[in-house]
Amino acid sequence: MPGILIVASALEGSMGRSSVELTGAARNLAGPLSLPMSAALVGQGRGIGQAVETLQQYGVQTVYRCEHPALTPGQSDAVLAALDLVVTKAQPELVLISADTVGREVAPRLAYRLRAALATEVMSLAVDGRAVMARRQVYGGRAIATLEVTARPAVISVKPRAFDVPQPQPVRGTVEEISLTIDPEALPTRVREAQSERAEVGLDDAQVVVGGGRGVGGPEGFKLLEELAAALGGAVGSSRPPADEGWVPITWQIGQTGKSIRPNLYVAVGISGAAQHVAGVSGSRTIVAINKDPEAPIFSLAHYGIVGDFRQVVPALVAKIKAAKGA
Amino acid sequence: MDTIVCLKQVVDPELPQWDFAIDPATKRQVRMGKPLVISTYDENALELALQLKEKTGGKVTALTLGPQGEVKDAVRLALAMGADEAVVIDDPQSPQRLAADKASVLAAAIKRIGRFDLVLTGCESADWVERAMAPFLAEALGAACVTFISRAESRDGALSVRRTSEEGFQTVDVRLPAVLSVTSDEAIRPRLPKVKDIMAAMRKPVANWTRADLGAEDAGGAKGVEVKDVSIPERTTKVEFLEGEPAEQAEALVARLRALKIL
């Protein structure tokens, strides 16, 4: 079925939010281009049936379901083998993939195999005539590029959290089984083990995030930030220097290289405001900056600024928040 | 282990915002008169290649594609850090080209270099951030592919690498030949060459090729993708500074967060 194919991932045994975001991204294109929406559902485990229902709730007309025990987290080679089969069958004009660990490997490889156009890490999508207009950050978030994608097929990778989960739009869809026969032992890459880093509240979904930068000075400083995050019911993240220095787990890194976040409240502590970091937080609704340097570029992004030593400001803030919540 | 490291030269990404401008003609950052550096993660990739060579032997080749007149410093630094030789592909248009367009040229160059076990790139370039080069090269070379790795060690003729994932890290076994893209880690901070290394680098071989030598066609755009516009977003927010002692500042902020119903 020529149309828009989204790659829905159930590698962890169930389907995550990023796949639903893709249905929202695809809707921006499906209407104006009059294209039907289908999904390649790749994964394993009991959650697959639920994933089919969810995709249909969000307007996916045809689900190409590919289950295989090798379709597990990080197994890009297995996912690519599955997608080879699905695209042969579906002959899509456009393929949308989430730019996650697997997607950022698979999207260019699939584009190469299909001799397709490629746009990566896209944050918004629109249509102009028959062309897909894809916008993405470049130069460490200092600028936004608009790419005009005219070729078909085209593969587009979408930055996680750039699109909201859309309103449901239920359709009565069909399911086609795709049978994958691969020998996991024969794949050139194999995930031997996965380690999770500590994260009590997930950064991706937190409504409040406290971010620390080089100005926090070390792991001890981040303890204060964790207290503030706890008082606000949020998560802690960092800019690049603390992650590079090993003060915090690398999964805490927010910015172009790390995660993109869009919380209600972002509190930047000891963060200068390098473009690389700003790229990941500029979608936050309210931004508070605490920095000892009144000239720090972060203040040009912030709604509220506090010039001062975070070692004094943050504990004062924790006390006032606790008092306010108790009141 | 014979490794080829792809290095891109970019305008220093640490330049202050006031020194950042887009050239309307090329729709790219103004390069003229700006300091050029090896793209951040590419330098980490070179460091990783050098460490693997120190453990397992073999040769490290630095490969760069760019306007020939601009890349001399990058090549000299790579050789001074410890690369054994360098290959420069002259392409005055390369700063305007997208990854798909450049991948075919780099792949042709890698095939011409000949023997390799490993190709390393940075996980993203500091300027265009497509994150696509390593997967493209893997396909073009028929090699295995893992991106965003921070560590690699040789194990039974294959590699064990640490890939950064959403949740943390994955340990991935990779067969050779492979193309890997490298992120950052304390263990692969680029080394600073010593004076004697800089002197020794002068005597190392540098091959100069052109796109035409490699049989690359001048396709212009990258397969149906055209950069229509590059613009610098305007900041519309105006900050309100909260004055006073820390307790007063905290009180003022809490009042505003309550008004916004965040608290």
Question: What is the tens place of the pLDDT at every residue in A255-282?
Answer: 988 888 989 999 999 999 988 899 899 8
**Is the pLDDT at B219 greater than 80, yes or no?**
no
| C-beta separation of A159 from A120 below 8 A | no
Query: Structural domain tally of chain A?
Result: 2
> How far B224 CA lies from chain A's nearest CA (Å)?
4
- DSSP, collapsed to helix, strand or coil, labels residue A145 as strand
Q: Domain of A129?
A: 4-186
Q: Which of A114-123, B119-128, B208-217 has the lowest mean pLDDT?
A: B208-217
All residues of chain A having their beta carbon less than 8 Å from the beta carbon of residue B103 are: 112
Chain B residue with the nearest C-alpha to that of A308? B246
Rounded mean pLDDT, A112-125: 96
Residues of B in contact with A300 (CB under 8 A): 235, 237, 239
Query: What pLDDT is stored for residue B218 in this prediction?
Result: 54
How far A98 CA lies from chain B's nearest CA (Å)?
12
Nearest to A117 among B225, B228, B253 (CB): B225
What's the whole-number average pLDDT of chain A? 94
Per-residue pLDDT, A201: 60
CB-nearest to A108 from B136, B163, B228 is: B136
Do A37 and A145 belong together in one domain? yes
Minimal C-alpha gap between A79 and chain B (Å): 13
User: Of B116, B123, B112, whose CA–CA distance to B4 is shortest?
Assistant: B116
Closest residue, chain A, to B233 (C-alpha)? A143
- Which chain B residue's Cα is nearest to A120? B130
Q: Which positions in chain A touch B139 (Cβ < 8 Å)?
A: 108-109, 112-113
Tell me, what CATH number does A245's domain have?
A: 3.40.50.1220
Residue A196 maps to a domain: no
For residue B49, what pLDDT is reported? 98
Contact indicator for A99, A159 with CB cutoff of 8 Å: yes
B124-131: average pLDDT: 96
Tell which of A121, A154, A186 closes a domain: A186
Q: Are residues A169 and A49 in the same domain?
A: yes
Question: Is A257 part of any domain?
Answer: yes
Both A239 and A304 in a single domain? yes
Residue A194 covered by a domain: no
- With contacts defined as CB-CB under 8 Å, which chain B residues touch A160? 166
On the question of pLDDT at A56 being above 70, the answer is yes
How far is residue A151 from each of residues A105, A114, B229, B233, measured CA to CA in Å?
21, 12, 18, 28
- DSSP letter string over B26-64? TTEE--TT--EEE-HHHHHHHHHHHHHHHHH---EEEEE
Which of A112, A192, A232 shows the shortest C-beta gap to B136? A112
**Does A160 map to a domain?**
yes
What is the Cα–Cα distance from B126 to B97, expressed in whole angstroms?
Answer: 15
Residue B206 predicted with pLDDT over 60: yes
Output the pLDDT for position B84. 98
Domains and CATH numbers, chain B: 3-214 (3.40.50.620)
Please report the pLDDT score of residue A279 as a whole number. Answer: 87
Statement to judge: residues A182 and A229 lie in one domain:
no
**Which residues of chain A neighbour B146 with C-beta distances below 8 Å?**
76, 105, 189
On chain B, the residues whose CB falls within 8 A of the CB of A113 are 139
- In this complex, do A100 and B166 lie within 8 Å of one another by their Cβ atoms? yes
State whether A166 and A263 are in the same domain: no
Cβ pairs bridging A and B (under 8 Å): 257
Cross-chain residue pair B224–A190, CB shorter than 8 Å = no
Give the mean model confidence (pLDDT) for residues B120-131.
96
Paired with A113 in beta bridges are none
pLDDT of residue B223: 75
Of A139, A151, A245, the CB nearest to B127: A139
Q: Distance of CA A217 to CAs A222, A226, A253, A310, B97, Å?
A: 8, 14, 16, 11, 40
Are residues A252 and A321 located together in one domain of the fold? yes
Same structural domain, A253 and A180? no
Q: Is the pLDDT of residue B48 over 90?
A: yes
Q: Are both A180 and A256 inside the same structural domain?
A: no
Contact A142 B253 (CB under 8 A): no
Contact B173 A111 (CB under 8 A): no
pLDDT of residue B103: 95
Q: Find tokens 């497509």 and name the residue.
A: B130
Mean pLDDT over A235-261 rounds to 91
Domain-embedded: residue A202: no
Q: What pLDDT is stored for residue B221 in this prediction?
A: 45
Q: What CATH number is associated with residue A40?
A: 3.40.50.620
pLDDT, average across residues A239-265? 91
Helix (H) or strand (E) segment spanning residue B88: strand B85-90
- Nearest CB to B239: which of A99, A208, A299? A299
If pLDDT is split at 50, 70 and 90, which confidence band does A198 have?
A: low
Confidence (pLDDT) at A102: 98
Could you count the other beta carbons within 10 Å of the beta carbon of residue B241?
14
* Best mutation target, B130, B183, B248, to test chain A (most A CBs within 10 A): B130
Interchain pair B170, A194: CB under 8 A: yes
Maximum average pLDDT range among A291-300, B7-16, B57-66? B57-66
| Residue A282 confidence (pLDDT) | 86
CA-wise closest residue to B101 among B209, B7, B227, B219: B219
Report yes or no on A40 lying in a domain.
Answer: yes
Sign of CA dihedral B11, B12, B14, B17: negative
pLDDT of B220:
44
Residue A68 makes CB contacts below 8 A (sequence gap 6+) with A44, A78, A82, A180, A182
Q: Is the pLDDT of residue A283 over 90?
A: no
Q: CB–CB of B168 and A195 under 8 A?
A: yes
Q: How many residues does chain A have?
A: 327
ipTM of the complex: 0.93
